[in-house]
Structure 1
Amino acid sequence: MADQWMPQAEHYDLGGHAPTDSSMPPKAIAHITADRDASAARPAVHVSFEALLSYFTGSGREVAPHILWDPFTGQFAQFFPANSRSLSLRDLAGGTRTNRAGRVVVQVEAVFFPHTTYKGKTYARLEDTPCKGWGDLHAWVHSLGVPDVWPMGRPTSLTPHRSEHTWEKVGGWYAHAHVPENDHVDPGSWPAFPKGTPKPKPPLPVRQKRPFPKGLRPNSSSPSARGLQKALKLTGWLAKSVTESDNYGPKTQKAVDGFNGKHGLRDRGKSYDPAIGPRGWELLMRLAYGAG
C-alpha cells in the first residue's frame, strides 16, 4: 500500500482532511509559488523554502498544497496526506470539485518564479534549476498510481489550456494552467520524468523531537532559555560570545525579534510575536538541528 505521507518530506499536518473522489483517475498538479514578478531584465533573488513553509503553516494555510518542494535545495514539506484533498486549486460551487477530482489529486508547489536568482545564477524556467529531489518526488507520486503522462501536454510556457472532459476522464500530471475553474498559467515548465522504474530512497531517519517549552517568555528565568539561546547561535541570530544561561534577557529577545521578523511569524496578523511561539520554535529547531 502506498505511503500517504512522502517519506523524504518533513510533515506539518494542517488537519481538516477531506476525502477525494475514488471514482475518478489519479492526478498530480504542478504549480510554482510565483513569489515575485521578475523578468530577464530585472531578475529577483530566490525566496527561501523557510519563508514559504512559514506562509503555508501560517497565513497561507487556506491555500496550502500537499507538497512544498525547493528544487534548489531538495527540501520537502507536506501539509496533507495524499488521500485527502489539499487547498491549492480554485473550486467553484457546483463544478468538478477540482481539489478532489481523483483517487488522489496531489498538489505540488515548487518554490520558484521565472528569472529567479540563486547563488548568483539566474534561472528562467523551473526545469533549468538543479531540480534536486525530483527523483524522490516523482517516485512517491508514481507509487500513488499517477501515470507518467501529461494529458494536456507537458508545460513549456506560461499558457493556459483547459479541457474539463480530459480533466475528469484521464489520469496523469496536469499543470495548474490545465485545471478547470482556475485562471493561473503556471508552472511554465517542469522536469522530465526519470527513465526506468522509480526507486524511492529510504525514509529520512527519525529525528529527535524538541517540543515547545511552555512558559518560555521574555524577561523570565527558565532552563529552556539555554536551549533557545543555543539554537539561535547555531542559526546565526545570537552572537557566539553571549553566555548561555537560564535568563531570557534582552540579547535573547533581540535575536528572537530578528528571527520572527525574517520568517513572518506574526501574532494574529497584527504584529510580530513578542516571544518565540510554538511555530517559531518548531522552525528554529528544524533549522538548527534538523528536528521537528
Structure 2
Amino acid sequence: MTDWTHASGALLLAWMADRLFGEPRSAWHPVAWFGRIAAPMGLRARAWAPRAAFAAGTVFWLALVGSVAAAAFAVEQALSSVPAGAAIPLLTLVLKPTFAWRMLEDEVRAVDMALGRGLDEGRAQVARLCSRDVNQLDGSGVRETAIETLAENFNDSLVAPLFWFIVAGLPGAWAWRAANTLDSMWGYRGRWEWAGKWAARADDVLGYVPARLSAALLWRPAGCMSWLASITHLAREAHQTPSPNGGWPMAAMALRIGARLGKPGVYTLNARAPRPDAASIASALVVAGQAARRAVGCTLMLLAATGLMKAAPW
C-alpha cells in the first residue's frame, strides 16, 4: 500500500484535476486502451458454446484484471521509494483514470439542456448514458433515466474505486476499474449470457459494499421516520430492482429528491412519488455533488487514520 501521505496527496490532486479538466480524450485514456484490448477477447468467447464461453470469459477476466492489478502494484512499489515531491504527482497521473465525476455530471446536465430544446434531442442525449431503448421515453422517462444513471454511476465511477483504493491501494482501484469496465462490455443476458457471466457476478461481488456506502452518502432519513424505519424503507425500495447493487444508490436518490424512478416493465422506485419534473435533474445533481465531496472527504480521513494507526508506537 502506498504511504498514506502519498495516497492522500495524490487523491486530492486527482480530485482537483477531475474538477478542473474532466476526462482526457479517448485516445489518451488508459481505460479506453483497456477496452480496446478486451473487446476482441470477449467477442471470441461469445462465439463459443455455453460451457466453453463461460470458461473463456472467466479466464480472460482473470488475465485482464490480474494484469491490470499487477501493473498497478508494480507502479505503486516503484513510487514508494521516490521522494514525495515526485511520487505524489506521478501517483496522481496513475490514480486519476480510476474514477470520473465531472464527466458524469456534465453528461447528465447535458440531458437536461437537450430536453429543453426538444424531446428528440433529450432522447438522443440520454442514449449516450444507457443501454436501454430510449425511443419510447417521454420527457419524464428521459429524466428518470438520466437520474438513475447519475445515481448508479456515483457508485461505479467514484465510490467503488475510492473504496478499493482504501482497501488495496492503487491495485485495488485499478482492479475495480477493470472489472467494472468488463461488466459494462460483457455483463449482459442474451448473446453475452455465458461469456459475460463471470464478469457480471464479479462486478456484483466487488461492488456490494461500495453500493451500500453510496446509498448512505446519498440518502437522508425521512423526518417523520425513525432511523430503523428509514433504513428498512430504503432497503425495501433497493430490492425492487433485479440488480443486487444498482438499486441501492438509485433508491436512495429517488427517496432523497422525492421522485419516482424506474425502468418500464422492470421496476419502480418510490412509486407513490410524482415522476421527475423540470427541476428534478438539477436537484439530483446537487445531491450527488454533495455526496461526491463527502465521499472524497471520508476517503482522505480514512487514509489519514490508517496512516496514523500504522505509525502509532503500539
Q: TM-score, normalised by structure 2?
A: 0.21
Which of structures 1 and 2 has the larger relative contact order (alpha carbons within 8 angstroms, sep 6+)?
A: 2
Higher helix share: 2
Higher strand share: 1
Q: TM-score, normalised by structure 1?
A: 0.22
